[in-house]
Structure 1
């Protein structure tokens, strides 16, 4: 059975261990990448004894001016991995009590997991009451306090749970989603950390669907997958996340806009790397990481120099810390037993995180069982930490010989039933007090961002129209953050009128103006078109996104003018490109009409980007249109070369190692001859040769025979139409209607060698699934395609025929009888296929 999934902080984690001798090799569970069997354990460190919370407190070193306090610990909670405060200050805690009881992953199938509801009944800051809110769970992963209850992830399901009789235990358990993670596959891709963001949508890490609660009904639409473990937002609603070896990333523009153009795979406006220097400074040797045997993994003193298990990042938005800490990022690294702090800055919409440490960190511990896995803002303005507190956090599927030897030598297998919640507060005389939040509009002015977020959520959840007058009045509040919350709260209540939005479009704060643009609908197109004289880059980027979404001639003309003076700005340019799918060549003509001697440097990057999108799209007609446009430009000019450079890109994907798709034309285009005569220097000629190589026509020297398009017969056409319906209802959520997939969730189907290869391979994948890693178009996808045995043979034949003939594909149809035969042949198979198995089907086994 495939291993259970777990987030990146577990997959890359470790245990500290060291002795100056060779130990007998241990049996590594991860057979394909288990590392050397004979391992040398350096650094003579004695086996550490598990520490009580009071003892652990003495191992912490926190930045000057702060101290750490205990909020909750075992036996009240065990193996905590996630937490969420509700409006009353109660704390939901996810306890993964079945995780890694031994090297074989014992305990993971048991119903020992739970979500506990903790309360501080005497107000001393320490939780003193715990109630099993939802019990008997298998490996629960995430929780979000919402709508008087909580969203709880128990893969593959996301439940909404609520206590209606006041006993602290859930008596309502409704299924919100059935694809929130899987029971098998690679753990690092498990969905987690749902948050209620400023746009009144619930976003999650590692998951592409966002939810909105409207009138008590959970609505779904698509976004983009992001990060591995942990998700948070800043004061303006931008989403921040991370990956195991990358401490902080961000979506600088609204994520949902980029779902409109799947070809913008390498956009820098989303999934932006914001932290350049991620050097770590642990306070003790940490050589027990999974790949600690590699020479560059550790410093000479045994400390981890770079992140390997990052998770649960937070943008601090509380009011307990000094002002200089507001908006800072705090990022746990459990492998190094520390929490790093970054200061944040912004210029022209680009966010930058600066490593504040030189030789120290915001928080470190010499207790190697200290495993911070989530940071959170609290109702008292303090910073909270979830500490899984255990030795083993590496999942059994990825254990190396080295790590197993370390664990055994250091006696770190047990205990596995501890865990703590910590709070970090300033060294002040009085402990900050938690705020109980209501749907009082005035709470949107509170200095604590958690309070503002919670108040906004409560008002939107309630749907209470009586709040509208006060919210309208708050649109003129002196605080820009309060105006921003009021705007989004009105939007959540569906109470924004065109007049209110028109006024907000001219707000003195750029973040408020950007939000107003984002919220505006098509009826405000004239007002938005009139804003193209806006100077702020962030607002212009939002404006470009919105105007291109309208697909109106006047709006496109306005965007062309906007880019003619701001095309060099990556946010503005990419914002515009989100709405260009299928219109690249037509828009390039608009841009060419804007060219003057003074704005060439602004327009050139746009033209190159449009050419690159067309190179990825692989459609012969628009590609030829772009060549004609290039041929009409001045010889050797920057505009001409920008178009050629864009079209010469290898499908727009620098990671791809496969040749770009050959595009067939009816005849050699005249523009090609013209351009060839104009390419005088070596660099230009080389680029042009790449463009020419992508094109073929009957009679072109060296070209292969034109593809034979065999039309479908009546029965096959009916099968295609049935498959089209199956695809739309079952497959499009992941692979998308356009077939380009979603990074982090599903690989592309368009021009995929898997789709256009042997149909019996596709049939096997649909029947039994495919466990990653798998290469598609030269790129590796470490994902799992779940089996779909519930589909009928006709359904499978139909959907495979559809994807082999849609998107200008010319694959053969799939016959129903062939699906029936393969189903019978593999009826005893239980496991997913792997890439290696499928590629070796029918081959004789090696004699080695």
Structure 2
């Protein structure tokens, strides 16, 4: 039954509080029960004017809500960003869910509006269409005199050069920023200029940097769903729809160096354990309302289900105790939560500021807060989409559709508000504008408002004004300046490529640990002697940054220092994970070095490190390092913590954190290793016995009882070897940016190719993907990727055969090569193919 035909029957039965007819759910794989019951027979809520909506808010004592902008000045606001003059860029996603089929999402009705407060009363009164005719725009970020605008699959830089408020420049920065026509709640969003002068995004695995007006792209990690912000130290915060807050505790780019650290806790760290929410009115219209655990007896949502757009408050308008708090919108529950963020030994956690009530709630069911942001006036701004339907069509359940129809939540669709939260004692609102003079911008780095500091730093870096360096250096070295001002000055110097080694040397000796940790992060190989002198440092964040840096330098002295650091502090999760970021491919050698300094007195520190090293070696799936580590384990004292940790690590290639991980591949050895028998005799505990059995089952050699026939490795002939070399060049130019030179892929962008069943299976499948592309979802090594691999039709048959041969023989792969004639035959067989393949089509073709 079409959704529009449900309306009459739904309304009639809703009067009885029961629906006996199946409603239409567009998310067919997880639509919930077809027979649904509306649990709370509430009357359809009337749409409210901004003035009426204002009366529905209940905000924490000492604060009030103010209207900044509303329809008709803005429509369907999704995201905002302030420029340095206090003007406000607004994303208007006007094509989103105008009906339950989402039938208008392909129309170019979206736009970016530029709002101004011309009379200084704190209310926006002028709106100019900055960019229009956009299909489902996603995000905006003020930068470089213009704005980055996300319109999947593109990220544009748009700029007004003639002063009329309308963009006349529109340059493409990236073409992989989401997917055209994809799920809007699962695509790249919220580009954010962070303290490190990198532009990071949620749901996107690359980062950008602006140097001399040129956009540079580099690897990162994909995490988060919608929304991104930072704290004073530059740590990135984000969330998922049912997970209120997460954080990258350590620099994200470090973890992109080791693709096997996908399960690291130091990035994408869970900050909040209690996902409880307390709406101020019944909220039956949530997607899983049919589940008994979703709604309380009073009809209120019990735990978060649509969390997005979180904020770490860094303004100067609220009382001091609110600084650093997290403000988290939950649009399905019509509320904004406040949480108190704490840190201990580098680990960040957050707890509810109050119990049984929230910082901000509304009884208006159309109040849909989707983003909270710091503002130039020190307050908190809230973006309110103001609509009934918030769930995307592809995820609508029978239950939610019934509620929408019964309670007339499908209309209106072209409204939206932006609100400001201010203290009651603040009578007037005055935004800070960042001046154009370099000296005044440097002074702004000492401002109490984090938005002002961030913007001043960004403008200084964008200016590329090298004359700012002396004053910035003086600020960094000033003992009288605020530590935060010195930190911003340090990163500004780095952004200007004007950070002198002597300046870093002085900061490495500073008493402020935040500054010292930043200096370690910024130090190069030339400062290795100074870094070695810090191994006695006791602060966890400094130690973690030091572990990252020492492992990346990869010199004998730095490796020895790293081993000594872990022998005293390896039990700290951040420090041991930081150490692993630069050890890819040499974990077994480092394990031997660590064993030399490990003793019964420090094994509490080293044992967790050995387990992690074992995890990574097992995950890499290479026979020689695995055997070397097995020998190391056998050489440890019988029943020792170190031995048990190595065994546990080698037995758990997924680190014990992934139940869906694929079965690890068999490792072929030349003969039965002597260490295996020695290790078996050393194993005493029940747990170690089971783990040893996993290790033994993974190893194979000729003559081992029950082992299959060893793989037959046929050497490449001269022509095939030539194609392999050609394929290597093609891969480096076309494929490595996404799948990476190491072949382990990039989170959120490209799955791994190493040991992939798609690469090592039937050669025609890999070739067909290269020829026509592959549209997700696709399961690779036990993990599902919902991405698209574009076709490469410009490659010749010789090119395709070369790159597929390379994939099937690189990274210790032993699969058969591919001949150009086979590609010619495939191209002819599927000459009429237009769309990308799906995994089902490829797997079920006879």
Common fold by TM > 0.5: yes
Preserved CA contact (<8 Å) 1:186 1:784: no
Aligned residue in 2 for 1:626: 629
Partner of residue 574 from structure 1, selected from 555, 572, 577: 577
**1:115 and 2:109 are equivalent in the alignment:** no
Preserved CA contact (<8 Å) 2:106 2:181: no
Q: What is the DSSP-based 3-state SS (H/G/I as helix, E as strand, rest coil) of the residue aligned with 1:304?
A: coil
Preserved CA contact (<8 Å) 2:617 2:653: no
1:558-573 to 2 correspondence within 5 Å?
558-573=561-576
Partner of residue 68 from structure 1, selected from 37, 41, 65: 65
Aligned residue in 1 for 2:442: 441
Greater relative contact order (CA < 8 Å, ≥ 6 in sequence): 1
**Which stretch shows the higher mean deviation, 579-588 or 674-683?**
674-683
Deviations 1:373-397 (A, max 9, x none): 1110000000001111111122222
Residues 681 and 67 of structure 1, relative CA distance in 2, 3 Å threshold: closer
Aligned residue in 2 for 1:691: 695
1:429 Cα deviation (Å)? Answer: 4.4
1:432 Cα deviation (Å)? Answer: 3.3
d(CA) in 2 for partners of 1:159 and 1:715?
44
d(CA) in 1 for partners of 2:702 and 2:56?
75
Partner of residue 804 from structure 2, selected from 800, 803, 812: 800
**1:646 and 2:649 are equivalent in the alignment:** yes
Preserved CA contact (<8 Å) 2:612 2:655: no
CA RMSD of aligned residues (A): 1.7
Partner of residue 555 from structure 1, selected from 553, 558, 561: 558
Aligned residue in 1 for 2:845: 841
Aligned residue in 1 for 2:392: 395
1:212-231 to 2 correspondence within 5 Å?
212-231=209-228
Aligned residue in 1 for 2:157: 160
1:473 Cα deviation (Å)? Answer: 1.6
d(CA) in 2 for partners of 1:585 and 1:400?
50
Partner of residue 93 from structure 1, selected from 75, 90, 103: 90
**Which stretch shows the higher mean deviation, 471-480 or 777-786?**
777-786
Aligned residue in 2 for 1:616: 619
Residues 792 and 356 of structure 1, relative CA distance in 2, 3 Å threshold: farther
1:150 Cα deviation (Å)? Answer: 0.6
State the aligned residue count: 826
Aligned residue in 1 for 2:672: 668
Preserved CA contact (<8 Å) 1:155 1:180: yes
d(CA) in 1 for partners of 2:601 and 2:15?
65
Aligned residue in 2 for 1:495: 498
Aligned residue in 1 for 2:194: 197
If the length of structure 2 is used for normalisation, what is the TM-score? 0.95
Preserved CA contact (<8 Å) 2:750 2:787: yes
Deviations 1:282-314 (A, max 9, x none): 111112112222222221222111111111110
1:670 Cα deviation (Å)? Answer: 1.8
d(CA) in 2 for partners of 1:216 and 1:536?
38
**Which stretch shows the higher mean deviation, 640-649 or 243-252?**
640-649
Deviations 1:223-278 (A, max 9, x none): 11120111000011000001111110000000000011111111110000001112
**1:328 and 2:325 are equivalent in the alignment:** yes
d(CA) in 1 for partners of 2:423 and 2:53?
19
**1:777 and 2:778 are equivalent in the alignment:** no
Partner of residue 523 from structure 1, selected from 518, 522, 526: 526
1:701 Cα deviation (Å)? Answer: 1.7
Partner of residue 125 from structure 2, selected from 106, 119, 128: 128
**1:308 and 2:312 are equivalent in the alignment:** no
Residues 553 and 685 of structure 1, relative CA distance in 2, 3 Å threshold: same
d(CA) in 1 for partners of 2:779 and 2:727?
25
**Which stretch shows the higher mean deviation, 759-768 or 349-358?**
759-768
d(CA) in 2 for partners of 1:806 and 1:29?
43
**1:682 and 2:686 are equivalent in the alignment:** yes
1:701-716 to 2 correspondence within 5 Å?
701-716=705-720
**Which stretch shows the higher mean deviation, 348-357 or 389-398?**
389-398
Aligned residue in 2 for 1:740: 744
Partner of residue 353 from structure 1, selected from 344, 350, 354: 350
Residues 840 and 490 of structure 1, relative CA distance in 2, 3 Å threshold: same
If the length of structure 1 is used for normalisation, what is the TM-score? 0.95
1:719 Cα deviation (Å)? Answer: 2.6
Unaligned runs of 5+ in 2: 1-13
Preserved CA contact (<8 Å) 2:200 2:207: yes
Residues 774 and 502 of structure 1, relative CA distance in 2, 3 Å threshold: same
**Which stretch shows the higher mean deviation, 791-800 or 139-148?**
791-800
Deviations 1:72-107 (A, max 9, x none): 111111111111000000000011111122122122
Residues 831 and 300 of structure 1, relative CA distance in 2, 3 Å threshold: farther
Aligned residue in 1 for 2:463: 462
Aligned residue in 1 for 2:3: none
1:24 Cα deviation (Å)? Answer: 3.3
Unaligned runs of 5+ in 1: 1-16, 843-848
